[in-house]
């Protein structure tokens, strides 16, 4: 499971809340773009692919990635429900890419 930093991904202020995203790289970018510019969202997903999934720079895995996005209430707005990241069970609210909005053919692929 990927983690970015201890600061809100949108405004870079310290926060202890966040949410999860599970899906294709393109979908993760689209989700992150709800709270940050497109270039920053792409950079975050590419870094996730490299650090957590061992991809080459600029590449993303052909599987669903899972990431915990640290976010404050101001940046998450009404788009994402937030939870305390310190909670192990249950974890923060997690959003999974709907099958009907997949970018590639077919159901989720596993490694």
Q: Which residue has the tokens 């790289």?
A: 25
Task: Dig out the tokens for 28 from the structure.
Answer: 């993760």
Interface pick for Zn ion out of 10, 18, 23, 31 (rule CB under 5 A): 10
At its nearest, how many Å lie between Zn ion and the CB of residue 59?
29
Max distance between CA atoms of the chain, in angstroms, equals 39
72 is an interface residue for Zn ion by CB under 5 A: yes
Interface pick for Zn ion out of 29, 42, 55, 75 (rule CB under 5 A): 75
- Residue 88 contacts by C-beta under 8 Å, 6 or more apart in sequence? none
Interface contacts to Zn ion, rule CB under 5 A = 8, 10-11, 72, 75
């Amino acid at each position: 499971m990927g983690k970015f930093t201890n600061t809100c991904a949108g405004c870079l202020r310290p926060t202890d809340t966040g949410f999860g995203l599970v899906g294709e790289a393109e979908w993760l970018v689209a989700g992150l773009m709800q709270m940050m510019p497109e270039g920053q969202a792409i950079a975050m997903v590419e870094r996730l692919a490299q650090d957590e999934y061992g991809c080459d720079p600029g590449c993303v895995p052909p599987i669903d990635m899972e990431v915990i996005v640290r976010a404050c209430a101001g940046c998450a707005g009404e788009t994402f429900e937030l939870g305390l990241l310190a909670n192990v069970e249950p974890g923060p609210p997690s959003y999974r890419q709907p099958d009907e909005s997949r970018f590639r053919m077919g159901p989720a692929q596993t490694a």
